[in-house]
């Protein structure tokens, strides 16, 4: 059969598209948030299951395609060839190609069920130092409430190394999915139903977390980082977070920023020691189970993240920007171009279209004072 030039080009185009797409997918697996580099037992179990299924699938693929290619070449039509032997109704073959896939699928089922049981809530190891965190999915950022320590943060979740962490997942808006590829697989965050997830981090460091369920326009920009501390670092972090914000010196740029915060930001954001007396457990206060605590009740259920220790976080606005402190010194003449926090304050809708942040147009001086104040909240 003759293939026209157009068809040939189309075939090559399709082949190249497949190749480039698969290399892009493979490249995505090698990044910092790769499931192929697990750093805890839960993620390791899930990665093991991934390899088991991948290897079985590859073996099946190679064997089936091998037989297919061999048959195509070996038994291709040649002039004068007789009709091939007909095998319709061959009982042995029928039994073999029913039994072999069944056995293979039962092997996959065995490892899948074993994997599910290994990471199930019931398999959570006993640990006297267990840390329990409520992760709250907002549109589009993550809030973390530590009930035992009575602290609430956003964007950055601190946990101690080699310690069981139980995460209770709460949403009062849409379905999100909590995912830290190197520590734990995806768990849905469903309104009206609290899922739980446990995991352990075996190595200190920072791990990227993501939302893995499409939840609106900024779904891809709903990220957080998990900071795994030594037990001492974790305790220091907890006691720092428990403190109210340090008041700025009167007459300073920071003090101007605080005044501006009270005028422009205090309806949606809380700062303990400024416009809030304590941290709020959003999951409890914003739940439909608590009448009078609907999300429009901004005292009990603030719209934006608590900023009491904003300066200590690594992400801004649900991970859409990195918190580049070095560029955010108020004396930086290029503050608006270089400091991500300043960019965010200048035009939050340009940075993350569709987000809930509503702030009037600020002058450069106002942005400078707000940056100085927020950066001082360590």
The contact set with ligand CUA (CB under 6 A) reads 137, 140, 176, 211, 213-215, 219, 222
- The DSSP bridge partners found for residue 152 are 145
- The DSSP bridge partners found for residue 229 are 160
CA dist list (Å): 21 to 13, 31, 217: 12, 16, 24
Joined together, the tokens standing for residue 270 give 């809380």
* Closer of 61 and 214 to ligand CUA (Cβ): 214
Q: Give the whole-angstrom CA distance, residue 185 versus residue 179.
A: 6
* Closer of 143 and 254 to ligand CUA (Cβ): 143
* Closer of 123 and 220 to ligand CUA (Cβ): 220
**Burial bucket for residue 284 (CB in 10 Å: 0-12, 13-18, 19+):** middle
Please state the closest distance from residue 347 (CB atom) to ligand CUA, in A: 23
Please state the closest distance from residue 228 (CB atom) to ligand CUA, in A: 23
Q: Give the whole-angstrom CA distance, residue 258 versus residue 265.
A: 10
Task: Please state the separation of Cα 307 from the chain's center in Å.
Answer: 21
Please state the closest distance from residue 179 (CB atom) to ligand CUA, in A: 10
Q: Give the whole-angstrom CA distance, residue 230 versus residue 255.
A: 35
Among candidate residues 159, 209, 213, 156, the one with its CA nearest the CA of residue 182: 209
Contact 362, 343 (CB under 8 A): no
Is residue 213 within a helix (H) or strand (E), and if so which, with residue range? none
* Closer of 171 and 256 to ligand CUA (Cβ): 171
Please state the closest distance from residue 305 (CB atom) to ligand CUA, in A: 15
Please state the closest distance from residue 168 (CB atom) to ligand CUA, in A: 16
Is residue 113 within a helix (H) or strand (E), and if so which, with residue range? helix 91-119
Please state the closest distance from residue 177 (CB atom) to ligand CUA, in A: 7
Please state the closest distance from residue 191 (CB atom) to ligand CUA, in A: 12
* Closer of 211 and 371 to ligand CUA (Cβ): 211
* Closer of 193 and 203 to ligand CUA (Cβ): 193
* Closer of 157 and 164 to ligand CUA (Cβ): 157
């Amino acid at each position: 059969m003759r293939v026209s030039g157009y068809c040939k080009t189309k075939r090559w185009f399709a082949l190249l598209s497949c190749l480039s797409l698969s290399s892009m997918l493979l490249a995505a697996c090698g990044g910092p948030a790769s499931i192929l580099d697990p750093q805890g037992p839960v993620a390791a179990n899930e990665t093991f299951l991934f390899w088991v299924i991948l290897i079985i699938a590859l073996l099946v693929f190679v064997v089936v395609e091998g037989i297919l290619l061999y048959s195509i070449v070996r038994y291709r039509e040649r002039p004068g060839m007789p009709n091939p032997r007909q095998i319709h109704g061959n009982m042995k073959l029928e039994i073999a190609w029913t039994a072999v896939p069944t056995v293979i699928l039962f092997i996959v089922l065995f490892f899948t069920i074993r994997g599910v049981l290994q990471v199930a809530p019931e398999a959570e190891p006993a640990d006297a130092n267990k840390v329990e965190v409520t992760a709250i999915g907002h549109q589009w950022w993550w809030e973390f409430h530590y009930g035992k320590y009575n602290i609430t943060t956003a964007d950055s979740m601190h946990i101690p190394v080699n310690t069981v962490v139980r995460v209770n997942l709460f949403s009062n808006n849409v379905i999100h999915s909590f995912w830290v590829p190197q520590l734990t697989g995806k768990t849905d965050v469903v309104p009206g139903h609290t899922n739980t997830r446990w995991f352990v981090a075996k190595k200190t460091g920072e791990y990227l977390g993501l939302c893995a369920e499409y939840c609106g326009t900024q779904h891809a920009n709903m990220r957080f980082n998990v900071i795994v501390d030594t037990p001492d670092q974790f305790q220091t972090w907890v006691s720092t977070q428990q403190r109210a914000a340090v008041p700025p010196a009167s007459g300073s740029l920071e003090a101007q920023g605080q005044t501006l915060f009270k005028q422009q930001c205090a309806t949606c954001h809380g700062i303990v020691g400024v416009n809030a007396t304590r941290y709020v457990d959003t999951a409890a206060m914003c739940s439909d189970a608590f009448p009078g605590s609907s999300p429009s009740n901004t005292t009990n259920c603030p719209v934006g993240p608590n900023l009491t220790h904003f300066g200590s976080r690594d992400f801004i606005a649900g991970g859409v920007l990195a918190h580049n402190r070095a560029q955010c010194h108020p004396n930086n003449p290029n503050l608006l171009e270089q400091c991500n926090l300043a960019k965010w304050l200048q035009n939050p809708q340009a940075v993350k279209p569709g987000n809930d942040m509503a702030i009037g147009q600020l002058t450069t001086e106002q942005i400078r004072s707000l940056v100085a104040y927020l950066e001082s909240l360590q």
